[in-house]
Chain A
Amino acid sequence: MLTRKTLLAASALLATTFAAWAEDPVKIGMITTLSGPAGYLGQDVRDGFKLAMEDNKLGGVPVELLVEDDGLKPGQGKQIAERFLSESGVKLFTGIVFSNVAGATVPDIVDNEAFYISPNAGPSNLAGKECSENYFVVSWQNDSLHESAGQLATNLGYKKAFILAPNYQAGKDALAGFKRFFKGEIAGEVYTRLDQTDFAAEMAQIRAAKPDVVFQFHPGGLGITFLRQYEQAGLGKEIPMVLAEPSMDGVTLAAVGEAAVGVNVSAHWNTDFDNPANKKFMEAWNKAYNRPATYYSSQGYDTGQLIASALKASGGKLDDSFRDALRKADFQSVRGKFAFGPNQHPIQDWYALKVEKGADGKPVIKTVGEVFKDHGDAYSADCKM
C-alpha cells in the first residue's frame, strides 16, 4: 500500500512540476561582475544581452533573466551558481567576465548538466582538456586576443617588444599568446599586480629597456591608469604601443582621450563594422544607453542572439536539440562571420584598429586592416568530446 501511495504522490508531484515547467519562462542565470572598478564590464555584458531580448523573449520563447553580481570573486561566483542550480532550477547560464571567476564556476555548472554560454572569458584550460559539450564561448579564447596583437606587432615591423600583464591566469595567457605570434625579440617581461594602481616603477623599467614597441594587457580601470601614466611619463611620444582590445575599449578611450591617439589595437569587433547586424546593434545601443558601446556589450548582444537562435530551434527546451542548435550558430553576429570550432570556441576574423583623431577632434577607434582570417585557437586539438 505504502509503495502505491508513494508512487501516486510522486507522479502527482512530477505532474505539477512538469506543468509548472511548461508554463514557466526559461530561466537564464547571469553571473557577472557589476561592482568595483571592473563593474562597467559586467554592466555592458548585461545591457548588451538585454538588447537582444524582445518583450522578455528570446527567439519567441519567454525567458526570465536572473542577474547576480560576482564582485570579481571566484568563490562568490561559485556560490551564486550553486544557489541558482539548486534553488531556482536554472539550467542555462551566462555572464561571467573574468577568467578566474569562470574557472571556479563553469565546471560546477556543466557537471550539473546545465549549459554555460560565455560572453567574455575563455580560459585556456576550458578550451582544451577540460572542454565540455555544454560549454560554449561566444567571445574568443583568451589567447586569441593577444595572438592577434603579436601578429599585428610583427606586421607593423617592430623588432623589440617590452611586454606587461597582471600576475594572474589571463595575464599569463596574454603574454604567452603575444609571444606565440610576435617574431621579434622580447626586451623585457613584467608581471604587475591585479590591484596595482601606480605603474611608476614599470615606466622606469620600460624607459631603461629602450624597446621599439610596448605591449600591455590591463583590462578595465587598470588599463586606463596605465595609459595615462604612460603618457605622463613622457613615453607616449617615444615608444609606440600595440594593444589587444581589452586594454582599449570605448570606455578606456573616452577616459584616456588624446593620450590614446596613435595606439594600435587588434580586435574581433569594432563600432564601425559595416554589416547590417552591427548597424542595428549600434543604433539600438545608442538609443537605449547614454554611454559608449564596448566590445563587452557587443558580446553580450551576440550571446543573447545565439541563445535566441537555439531556443527558437528547440522550441524552448534545454536538451540535445538545444545543443545542436547552438553548435550551428545560426545568427547574424555583429562581427560579421561567425562559426564554432570543434571545442565550441569561435573561429573568426581579427582586425587591425588604430586610434585616430575624429572629425570633431575627439579620438575614435578606426578599423584599418585585417590581422587573421578564420582564426581558431591552439587548444582545440586537446579537446575530446
Chain B
Amino acid sequence: MTLFLEQLLNGVQFGVMLFLMAAGLTLIFGIMGVINLAHGSIYMIGAYAGTFVATETGSFWLGIPAALAAAALAGVVIEFLVVRRLYGRDHLDQVLATFGLILIFNQAVTMLFGRQPLFVQMPSILDGSVELLPGLSYPIYRLTIILVGLLVAFGLYLLINRTRIGMLVRAGSTNREMVRALGVDVRLLYTLVFGLGALLAGLAGFMAGPILAVQIGMGEQILITTFVVVVIGGVGSIRGAFFASLILGIVDTGLRAYLPGLLRQVMVGPEADALGAGISSMGIYLLMAIVLLIRPKGLFIRNS
C-alpha cells in the first residue's frame, strides 16, 4: 500500500511538471494558433540560466528569479523576432521555423556551457525525505514541486477566470478575430501570453534541475510528452491541460511500475519485463490514440 501511494505521488509529481510545460504550450497554440516546438528550448534556457546563477552565487533561491527572467525574456524575444511573423502562415512553416530555433538554441548553449551536464545543489532545507505515513517517506524536494505546481495551477485558474486579461485570453482562444474586432491590442496580448508560457516553462526547467540533469536537448525529451498532454486535454484549455497532465503522469508512472509485474503473472520473467517495458513506453501514446478516437477535440473541450 505504501508502495502504491509512493508511486501515486511520483505520478502526480511528474504530472505537475508536465502541466507547467503544457499550460504555456496549450495557451500559445489555442490563442495564437502557433505550434511552438521551441517551447522545450525555453525550458532548457530556464534550467541553464537558473543553474548558472545558483552555482555562481551559491544560492539556490537566487536561481529562481534568474530562471524566470531568462525564460520570459527568451519567450518575448522569440515572439517578437520570429513567431510574430508566423501567425498568418500555415503550421508547416511554424514547425520549420521553431524547429530551427531548437537547433540554434541547442548549439548556442553548447557553445556557452559545453556538453557536460550541469547540476545545481539542492538547498539543505529541501534536501532529504519526510515521513508522510509510517513506512512512506518521500523526498521533500519532490513534495515541494507538487506544491508549487498546484499553486501555479490555482494562480492560473484565478488569472484566467477572475481577471480582465484572463477574460481576453479566454475570448481569444474561442474567437480570435472577434477580440481583434472589438479593438483589443491583440499583439500585446500575444506577447504577454507567450511571455507567461515561457515563464512557466522556465520555472519547470529550473525545478527539474536538481532532479534531472541540466543538459542539451533536455527540452525535447519532455516536449513530446507535453504535446500529448495538450492533445488529450484539448487545445487551448488550461483546465484540460491540468487534468490531462495528472492523468498522464499517473498512467505513465503506474504502467512503468506495475505492468511488468502484472505480466509476470501470466508469462516468463524476462519476456514479461521486456514486453512490459515496451508497452509502458507506448502507454501514453495509446491513451492519446484512444482519446482521439472517442473525443477528437480532447477530453476537456465541450463539443460544439
Binding site for B on A (CB under 8 A): 35-37, 39-40, 43, 167, 172, 189-193, 195, 197-198, 200-202, 204-205, 207-208, 221, 224-225, 228-229, 232-234, 251, 254-255, 257, 291
Which residues of B sit under 8 angstroms from A207, Cβ to Cβ? 3
Most chain A beta carbons < 10 A, residue from B116, B269, B274, B278: B116
Flag B208-239 by CB within 8 Å of A: 1 or 0 each.
Answer: 10111101111001100000000000000000
Complex formed: what's the CA distance from A36 to B103 in Å? 11
The minimal Cβ–Cβ distance linking B6 to chain A, given in whole angstroms, is 5
B14 within 8 A of A: yes
Within 8 Å by CB of B278, from A39, A167, A228, A255, lies A167
Contact B273 A190 (CB under 8 A): yes
Complex formed: what's the CA distance from A195 to B139 in Å? 23
The minimal Cβ–Cβ distance linking A374 to chain B, given in whole angstroms, is 30
Which residues of B sit under 8 angstroms from A254, Cβ to Cβ? 116
The minimal Cβ–Cβ distance linking A162 to chain B, given in whole angstroms, is 12
Flag B110-142 by CB within 8 Å of A: 1 or 0 each.
Answer: 100011110100100001110000000101011
Within 8 Å by CB of B213, from A167, A224, A232, lies A224
Most chain A beta carbons < 10 A, residue from B14, B127, B217: B217
B270 within 8 A of A: yes
Contact B274 A221 (CB under 8 A): no
**Interface SS of A by simple majority:** helix
Interface residues of B in 1-19 (CB under 8 A from A): 3, 6-7, 10, 13-14
Contact B116 A201 (CB under 8 A): no
Q: With contacts A190-B273, A204-B257 known, is A37 near B116, CB below 8 A?
A: no
Told that A37-B215, A189-B273 touch, could you supply 7 new A-B pairs with CB distance under 8 A?
A: A37-B213, A43-B115, A198-B211, A232-B141, A232-B211, A254-B116, A255-B119
The minimal Cβ–Cβ distance linking B209 to chain A, given in whole angstroms, is 11
Within 8 Å by CB of A37, from B218, B257, B278, lies B218
Q: With contacts A37-B213, A232-B141 known, is A197 near B7, CB below 8 A?
A: no
The minimal Cβ–Cβ distance linking B2 to chain A, given in whole angstroms, is 8
Q: With contacts A37-B215, A195-B221 known, is A255 near B273, CB below 8 A?
A: no
Determine the residue in chain A with the shortest Cβ distance to B117.
A221
Number of B residues near A (Cβ < 8 Å) is 44
Interface CB pairs A-B, < 8 A, 24: A37-B117, A37-B213, A37-B216, A37-B217, A39-B110, A40-B116, A189-B269, A189-B270, A195-B221, A197-B221, A198-B10, A201-B10, A201-B253, A204-B7, A204-B10, A205-B3, A205-B257, A221-B117, A224-B117, A225-B211, A225-B213, A228-B213, A232-B127, A255-B117
Within 8 Å by CB of A204, from B3, B215, B277, lies B3
Complex formed: what's the CA distance from A40 to B117 in Å? 9
Which residues of B sit under 8 angstroms from A35, Cβ to Cβ? 106, 110, 216-217
Flag B255-271 by CB within 8 Å of A: 1 or 0 each.
Answer: 01100100000000110
Determine the residue in chain A with the shortest Cβ distance to B281.
A193
Within 8 Å by CB of A167, from B116, B215, B217, B277, lies B277
Which residues of A sit under 8 angstroms from B281, Cβ to Cβ? 167, 193
Q: With contacts A37-B218, A200-B142 known, is A191 near B253, CB below 8 A?
A: no
Complex formed: what's the CA distance from A255 to B210 in Å? 11
Complex formed: what's the CA distance from A269 to B72 in Å? 46
Determine the residue in chain A with the shortest Cβ distance to B278.
A167
Which residues of A sit under 8 angstroms from B269, Cβ to Cβ? 189
Which residues of A sit under 8 angstroms from B270, Cβ to Cβ? 189
The minimal Cβ–Cβ distance linking B61 to chain A, given in whole angstroms, is 19
Q: With contacts A197-B221, A224-B117 known, is A191 near B277, CB below 8 A?
A: yes
Contact B139 A232 (CB under 8 A): yes
Which residues of A sit under 8 angstroms from B276, Cβ to Cβ? 191
The minimal Cβ–Cβ distance linking A216 to chain B, given in whole angstroms, is 14
Which residues of A sit under 8 angstroms from B142, Cβ to Cβ? 200
Which residues of B sit under 8 angstroms from A221, Cβ to Cβ? 117, 213, 215
Contact A234 B137 (CB under 8 A): yes
Which residues of A sit under 8 angstroms from B129, Cβ to Cβ? 233-234
Determine the residue in chain B with the shortest Cβ distance to A194.
B281
Contact B3 A200 (CB under 8 A): no
Within 8 Å by CB of A200, from B115, B210, B221, B253, lies B253
Complex formed: what's the CA distance from A251 to B253 in Å? 29
Which residues of B sit under 8 angstroms from A192, Cβ to Cβ? 256, 277
Complex formed: what's the CA distance from A168 to B119 in Å? 27
Complex formed: what's the CA distance from A189 to B264 in Å? 11
Contact A167 B117 (CB under 8 A): no
Contact A172 B274 (CB under 8 A): yes
Contact A198 B106 (CB under 8 A): no
Which residues of B sit under 8 angstroms from A208, Cβ to Cβ? 3
Complex formed: what's the CA distance from A316 to B99 in Å? 44
Determine the residue in chain B with the shortest Cβ distance to A176.
B270
The minimal Cβ–Cβ distance linking B245 to chain A, given in whole angstroms, is 14
Contact B212 A197 (CB under 8 A): yes
Interface residues of B in 195-216 (CB under 8 A from A): 208, 210-213, 215-216
Closest 9 CB pairs of A and B: A191-B277, A200-B10, A167-B277, A39-B115, A201-B257, A40-B115, A197-B212, A204-B6, A36-B217
Most chain B beta carbons < 10 A, residue from A37, A189, A200, A225: A200
